[in-house]
Amino acid sequence: MQFLFAAWGNTSVQRGALWWASVHRHHHRHSDKEEDAHSPGVRGFVWSHIGWMTSSRNFPTDYRSVRDLAQFRELVFLNRFDMIVPAAFGIALFGLGALLNWLWPDLGTSGAQIFVWGFFVSTSVLLHGTLFINSLAHVWGNKRFDTDDDSRNNFWLALVTLGEGWHNNHHRFMGAARQGFYWWEIDITYYLLKALSFTGIIWDVKPVPRSIYEEVRGSRSAA
């Protein structure tokens, strides 16, 4: 299942899971500081959104920061050959469109049509949705927690990214599986993780500590 989830992630064409994990951990260690690879406050909005990802200096994976994950050979394989899955995905989509055209020509579809919409368009939309968390979620929104970075909670980004928009929450306690700390903060990713935990496919879904909620109550009382 770990291999399948990582392979599924590769279809987004956003490099490998270990690369993302290493970049993410580096971001949390140096968030909105000079060392941060994608801080809008340091290098500007455009760089934080897309520039950093196209820079060759950010291509290598820092395996030292993901030693716990790098012990799994299937994850290392998918990370090193991160274009295998996207290529197979694109070919499969083209084949699906061609098959539909052959079986049901009245549908008016084709391999190229399914490939363009199912691969290029969807990949572009997904990419920018993801990257808005690096850029827009550090510029636009509310700060519930007084973190030492510019992270913000943003309802609209949470809808687009299935919960990632509660970014200030995440920066306050990144160890929780839940980023929408309260019931009214829609976090579809967490709902899916919780459902998977009931099946036994995943486990040890870490909750938000009680101390975090007490911190919020304390700040409200002080105000």
Query: What residues does each domain of the chain span?
Result: 140-223
What pLDDT score was predicted for residue 223?
A: 59
- Per-residue pLDDT tens digits for 58-103: 999 999 999 999 999 999 999 999 999 999 999 999 999 999 999 9
Question: Taking residues 175-181, what's their average pLDDT?
Answer: 96
Which pLDDT does position 19 carry in this prediction? 97
* Segment 160-189 mean pLDDT: 97
* Residue range 25-32: mean pLDDT, rounded: 96
Residue 26 has pLDDT above 80, yes or no: yes
Helices (H) and strands (E) in the chain, counts: 14, 0
Rounded Cα distance, 8 and 4, in Å: 6
pLDDT of residue 130: 95
CA dist list (Å): 5 to 34, 83, 116, 177, 197: 33, 16, 24, 16, 14
As a whole number, mean pLDDT of residues 40-50 equals 95
Confidence class for position 218, pLDDT limits 50, 70, 90? confident
What is the sign, positive or negative, of the torsion defined by CA atoms of 42, 45, 49, 52? negative
- Indicate the pTM of the whole model: 0.92
Residue 153: its pLDDT value, please?
98
CB 137 within 8 A of CB 130: no
Quote the pLDDT of residue 222.
62
The Cα 181–Cα 166 span in angstroms is 8
* Per-residue confidence band for 221, with pLDDT thresholds at 50, 70 and 90: low
pLDDT of residue 158: 97
- Determine the residue type at 14: Q
Round the average pLDDT of the chain to a whole number and report it: 95
Q: Give the model's pLDDT for residue 219.
A: 75
